[in-house]
């Protein structure tokens, strides 16, 4: 075993003991000692127990302890046990009849000697309030000679920290176990006392065990103890539940020298030859240390084992000048000596007051010398380890001391910087990953970026993501690193870094990518998408494709195939295995490109999407129409499969396609351009195929099942290749019957224009394509009866009455509409055809229904200079006859008016020269008695001056006179009644309307 490193983690301090009145205290003939967190207990041979404690609130007296001594006991004490779990102190001694302090029983003396345990409760309040430290609990003489226990045979004694179990090992290889003897139950209940004897020879399997040297008790669970018995040659481990159960039996290769309890059920055994075995509670060896010389005493302190050893043989009664005190670190993986120094002869170590004390003697003197080995501060110890470049030990030390995580990370940072400066980049990256928040990621990235191998960057960035400290920028950088590794592996470029391995392979890159995406693909989806955009813009198409495929991002993968690789065949093959949603998205985004490569495949995909939709739900076609808006023939084939869809978009698209075909036929006919396109043997079958798409050239029919799309076969046996291309040409074969096409147009217009939106779209499309017949039909459906006249008047060659029946249109949709007949009469006069009969009928209708005045008709007739008199002779005769009759009527009215005027003059003269007797005593309005002055009217009504209005008219007769007489008033009343009922029937709320009318009537009558 290599020589362990040596450090100076402890400082030795000489401790002086003073009484409570500050007088020096010297301890003579110390028998035993014990310690807890509050006191250091020292037992003298005189039976006096001394409690040493630190002065309260006195930081300047760390090298001084105060001593409180208890009176001598009535028995010879030789062992102390500080049971910290029970806050108790147990003193073990011999009780001999006629005992004197100077009396020592002989071995051959027969007496009633017994082993006695005194239990005291320890109070920590003495330090603050001066109360008694020890409070007597009970005194129990448990081990009596009558029980087979001889005092001379006692080898060792052990007491559990909870005082519930005591064990005594004897020279004959027997361990006596006593339960619940040493202290009363904490709840005041009576606990059963149990005595058990354990003979080691029953478990040794005929092996020689030697004398029992030490016993260690540990608590394994509620009421369950672990018992470890160390003999000269064997270590036994038992489980007391409460019956002893042997767990293990370990042989000691050399002889036993010393042992100690280490806590957590562990204990250490020092063997001859300087080896230290550390055992677990089940008796298994967990580690070994190398000591020096022969061990006289040892104890465990935190993560250390303090050992006192001598270099020459002999007993403790011999006079040694010094003893080597060494403190070994027992933490696995940390093999060093934390302290090593020669001091006077060590009596024993004691853990007390949170520190490690050394009880020593000087030469042959029996006086006690007390030292304290104080552990240096954690920062001093860490600095020592860091200066020695023992970073792993420094981190372990900080962890054992429960230091904050930030301090451990700072050590990792120092370690990482040192490794980086030494060129050990693998270790540096690992240390940077452990440094956590103590180092900025940007600083690490700046140091790792210049390195040849990008694996270092990958390791650190992956660690950032695993710790949840990565931002979107870090994800993008990680993707760039993976892209660089991917490109290097594709080009078989090996790293030139001395620490890097062989060139990373493409398989390794895919493994790294899969590891990242499987863990963070969902949480970092947005950052990965942004990194993919950056990768594609920089030309990393292969890597982007690998990322999209590994992430199962179908949409992104298809975008890369189409936009970056232009591999349309691979795209269509990939779409065969994707879901309908992915296929739909791909067609919507890349349909224009893919349809030029293989229209048949795209059409089959659309059909598959349609089959997955609910029955009679063809709304999905509306999404594809804008994509293929420039591919007329493909739209024709696509929409032909779903003739029952009457949505506005589908209807307008179908109508557009038919009108476009019809307009093409019209243009071809006007220019006398006829083109017949044939494909192979299809020309002999009489079916015309369109050369652009390889689909049937028959126009789309909304209601005819014969319009089903034939993407692969045509009548006559001609086969269409799936690789046929659609072109942008919109021309169709002119060798086609326009009557059939127009018939399909009329079927579409008549069968799908029940809604106002459809009618408006149809009207606009017909106007755009100058399809007057359809425009007239839609205008009539929508009630725009003047629009057909406007369209007819816009023709340069005038209105052809043979094709558009103006008179029938006016009679059907506006027989009493004057403005409509104005337009009809004007268009008739502008027609190049013979309109004599039509004009006579029109003029007679206008005259019969009194639609236009004679002057207006004459103005319209004057516009046609070629009008013959015979065409309007009858109209003029009737008009002149009406004018003559009207003149005679006017003459009769004039004569009657003259007679009425003469009669009125006579009445006025009579009124001026005659009187009227008015005998009214009450006002005709307020019915009160008249007072002077009062007003009287010829109508026999009288009023107060304040009962008439400012107009000076009779309040009774004035309204009637203003309305024009009784006949007119009656006529207006009838009109008012008609208006009332008309408005009442059309009102939104009839009750509100009636309320308004009643209010008006009330105010008008007031």
**SS in 3 state form for 668-703?**
HHHHCCCCCCCCHHHHHHCCCECCCCCCECCCCCCC
Q: Which residues of the chain have pLDDT under 70?
A: 1-3, 58-60, 72-74, 96-113, 125-131, 142-152, 184-192, 311-321, 363-364, 492-503, 615-618, 641-645, 671-736, 795-803, 961-993, 999-1006
CA dihedral 40→337→332→287, nearest 10 degrees, is: -80
Q: What are phi and psi of 473, to 5 degrees?
A: -65, -40
Query: Taking phi first (over 0 means left), then psi (-120 to 50 degrees means alpha), and beta for anything else, what does residue 554 get?
Result: alpha
CA distance 752 to 759: 9
Q: Which residues contact 895 (CB under 8 A, 6 or more apart)?
A: none
- Element (H or E) spanning 19, and its range? strand 10-19
pLDDT for res 152: 65
d(CA 68, CA 253): 45
Residues in the chain: 1006
Q: How far is CA 84 from CA 159, 225, 612, 943, in A?
A: 11, 17, 78, 125
Residue 997, burial from CB neighbour count under 10 angstroms (0-12, 13-18, 19+) = middle
Give the pair of three-digit tokens for residue 195.
């005595």
Give the orientation angle of helix 455-466 with respect to helix 425-435, to 10 degrees. Answer: 20
**Secondary structure element (H or E) that encloses residue 740, with its range:** helix 738-751
Exposure string (b/e) for 953-989, b if CB count within 10 Å is 16 or more?
Answer: ebeeebeeeeeeeeeeeeeeeeeeeeeeeeeeeeeee
Whole-number pLDDT of residue 125: 65
Predicted local confidence at residue 355, as pLDDT: 93
Residue 530: helix, strand or coil by DSSP? helix
**Burial class of residue 246, CB neighbours in 10 A (0-12, 13-18, 19+):** middle
The dihedrals phi and psi of 944, each to the nearest 5 degrees, come to -65, 160
**What six digits make up the tokens of 1004?**
């008008």
Q: Which residue has the tokens 């009922």?
A: 981
Which pLDDT value is given to residue 333?
85
For helices 818-830 and 806-813, angle between their N-to-C axes, nearest 10 degrees: 180
The whole-angstrom separation of Cα 787 and Cα 809 is 11
Which helix or strand (DSSP H or E) is residue 792 part of? helix 786-793
Number of other residues whose CB lies within 10 A of the CB of residue 123:
15
| Those residues with Cβ within 8 angstroms of residue 844's Cβ, 6 or more apart along the chain or in another chain | 874, 875
Asked if residue 169 lies in contact with residue 175, where contact means CB atoms within 8 angstroms, the answer is yes
Q: With CA atoms as reference, report the closest residue to 134 among 82, 179, 188, 94.
A: 82
Q: In this predicted structure, what is the pLDDT of residue 962?
A: 67
> 400-408, long-range: CB within 8 Å, 24+ apart, which pairs?
400/302, 400/303, 400/331, 403/378, 405/436, 406/436, 406/437, 406/438
Name the DSSP letter for residue 333.
T
Q: Please state whether beta strands 336-343 and 5-6 pair in parallel, antiparallel, or not at all (unpaired).
A: parallel
3-state SS, residue 815: coil
For residue 306, the model assigns a pLDDT of 94
> Angle at the Cα of 267 (from 263 to 270), degrees rounded to 5?
140
Q: Are strands 64-69 and 10-19 parallel, antiparallel or unpaired?
A: parallel
């Amino acid at each position: 075993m290599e020589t362990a490193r040596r450090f100076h983690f402890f400082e030795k301090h000489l401790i002086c003991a003073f009484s409570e009145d500050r007088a020096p205290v010297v301890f003579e003939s110390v028998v035993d000692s014990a310690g807890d967190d509050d006191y250091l207990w020292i037992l003298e041979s005189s039976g006096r127990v001394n409690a040493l404690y630190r002065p309260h609130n006195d930081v300047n007296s760390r090298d001084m302890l105060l001593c409180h001594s208890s009176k001598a006991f009535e028995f010879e004490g030789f062992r102390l046990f500080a049971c910290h779990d029970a806050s108790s102190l147990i003193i073990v001694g011999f009780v001999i009849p006629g005992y004197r302090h100077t009396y020592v029983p002989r071995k051959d003396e027969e007496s009633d000697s017994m082993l006695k345990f005194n239990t005291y409760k320890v109070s920590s309040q003495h330090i603050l309030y001066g109360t008694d430290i020890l409070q007597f609990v009970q005194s129990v003489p448990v081990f009596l000679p009558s029980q087979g226990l001889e005092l001379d045979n006692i080898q060792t004694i052990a007491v559990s920290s909870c005082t519930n179990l005591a064990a005594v090992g004897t020279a004959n290889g027997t361990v006596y176990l006593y339960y619940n003897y040493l202290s009363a139950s904490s709840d005041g209940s009576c606990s059963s006392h149990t005595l058990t004897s354990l003979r080691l020879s029953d478990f040794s399997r005929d092996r020689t065990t030697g004398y029992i040297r030490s016993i260690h008790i540990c608590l394994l669970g509620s009421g369950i103890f672990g018992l470890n018995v160390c003999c000269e040659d064997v270590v036994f481990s038992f489980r007391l539940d409460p019956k002893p159960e042997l767990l293990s039996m370990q042989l000691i290769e050399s002889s036993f020298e010393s042992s100690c309890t280490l806590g957590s059920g562990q204990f250490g055994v020092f063997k001859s030859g300087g080896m230290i075995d550390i055992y677990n509670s089940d008796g298994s060896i967990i580690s070994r240390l190398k000591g020096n010389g022969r061990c006289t005493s040892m104890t465990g302190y935190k993560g250390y084992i303090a050992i006192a050893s001598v270099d020459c043989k002999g007993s403790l009664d011999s006079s040694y000048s010094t003893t080597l005190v060494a403190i070994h670190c027992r933490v696995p993986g940390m093999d060093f000596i934390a302290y090593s120094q020669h001091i006077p002869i060590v009596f024993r170590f004691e853990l007390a007051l949170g520190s490690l004390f050394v009880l020593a003697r000087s030469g042959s003197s029996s006086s006690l010398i007390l030292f304290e080995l104080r552990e240096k501060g954690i920062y001093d110890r860490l600095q020592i380890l860091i200066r020695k470049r023992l970073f792993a030990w420094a981190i372990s030390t900080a962890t054992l001391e429960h230091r904050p995580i930030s301090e451990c990370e700072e050590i990792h940072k120092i370690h990482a910087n040192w490794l980086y400066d030494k060129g050990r980049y693998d270790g540096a990256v690992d240390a940077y990953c452990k440094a956590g928040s103590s180092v900025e990621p940007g600083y690490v990235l700046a140091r790792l970026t210049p390195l040849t191998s990008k694996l270092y960057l990958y390791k650190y960035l992956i660690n950032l993501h695993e710790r949840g400290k990565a931002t979107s920028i870090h994800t993008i950088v990680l993707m760039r690193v993976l892209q660089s590794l991917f490109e290097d592996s594709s080009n078989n470029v090996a790293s030139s870094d001395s620490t890097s391995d062989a060139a990373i392979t493409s398989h390794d890159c895919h493994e790294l990518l899969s590891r990242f995406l499987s863990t963070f693909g969902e949480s970092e989806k947005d950052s990965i998408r942004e990194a993919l955009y950056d990768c594609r813009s920089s030309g990393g198409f292969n890597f982007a494709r690998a990322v999209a495929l590994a992430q199962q991002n179908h949409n992104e993968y298809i975008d890369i195939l189409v936009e970056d690789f232009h591999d349309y065949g691979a795209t269509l093959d990939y779409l065969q295995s994707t879901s309908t949603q992915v296929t739909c998205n791909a067609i919507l985004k890349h349909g224009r490109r893919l349809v030029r490569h293989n229209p048949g495949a795209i059409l089959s995909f659309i059909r598959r999407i349609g089959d997955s939709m609910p029955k009679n739900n063809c709304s999905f076609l509306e999404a594809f129409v804008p994509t293929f808006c420039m591919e007329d023939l493909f739209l024709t084939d696509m929409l032909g499969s779903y003739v029952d869809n009457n949505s506005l978009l589908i209807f307008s698209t179908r109508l557009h396609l038919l009108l476009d075909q019809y307009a093409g036929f019209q243009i071809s006919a006007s220019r006398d351009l006829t083109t017949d396109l044939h494909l192979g043997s299809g020309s002999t079958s009489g079916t015309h195929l369109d050369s652009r798409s390889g689909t049937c050239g028959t126009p789309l029919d909304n209601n005819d099942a014969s319009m089903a799309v034939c993407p692969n076969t045509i009548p006559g046996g001609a086969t269409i290749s799936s690789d046929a291309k659609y072109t942008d040409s919109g021309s169709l074969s002119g060798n086609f019957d326009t009557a059939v096409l127009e018939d399909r147009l009329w079927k579409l217009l008549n069968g799908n224009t029940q809604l106002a939106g459809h009618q408006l779209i149809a009207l606009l499309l017909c106007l755009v394509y100058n399809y007057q017949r359809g425009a007239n039909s839609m205008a009539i459906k929508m009630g725009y009866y003047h629009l057909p006249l406007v369209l007819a008047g816009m023709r340069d060659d005038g209105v052809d009455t043979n094709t558009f029946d103006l008179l029938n249109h006016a009679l059907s949709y506006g027989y009493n509409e004057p403005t409509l007949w104005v337009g009809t009469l004007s268009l008739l006069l502008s027609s190049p055809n013979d309109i004599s009969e039509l004009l006579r009928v029109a003029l007679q209708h206008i005259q019969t229904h009194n639609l236009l005045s004679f002057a207006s008709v004459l103005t319209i007739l004057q516009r046609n200079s070629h009008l013959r008199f015979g065409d309007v002779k009858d109209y003029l005769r009737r008009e002149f006859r009406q004018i003559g009759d009207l003149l005679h009527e006017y003459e009769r009215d004039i004569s009657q008016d003259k007679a009425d005027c003469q009669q009125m003059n006579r009445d006025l003269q009579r009124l001026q020269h005659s009187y009227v007797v008015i005998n009214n005593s009450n006002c005709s309005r307020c019915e009160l008695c008249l007072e002077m002055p009062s007003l009287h009217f010829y109508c026999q009504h009288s009023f107060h001056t304040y009962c008439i209005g400012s107009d000076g008219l009779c309040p009774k007769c004035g309204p009637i006179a203003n309305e024009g007489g009784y006949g007119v008033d009656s006529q207006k009343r009838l009109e008012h009644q008609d208006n009332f009922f008309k408005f009442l029937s059309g009102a939104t709320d009839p009750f509100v309307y009636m309320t308004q009318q009643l209010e008006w009537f009330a105010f008008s009558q007031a």
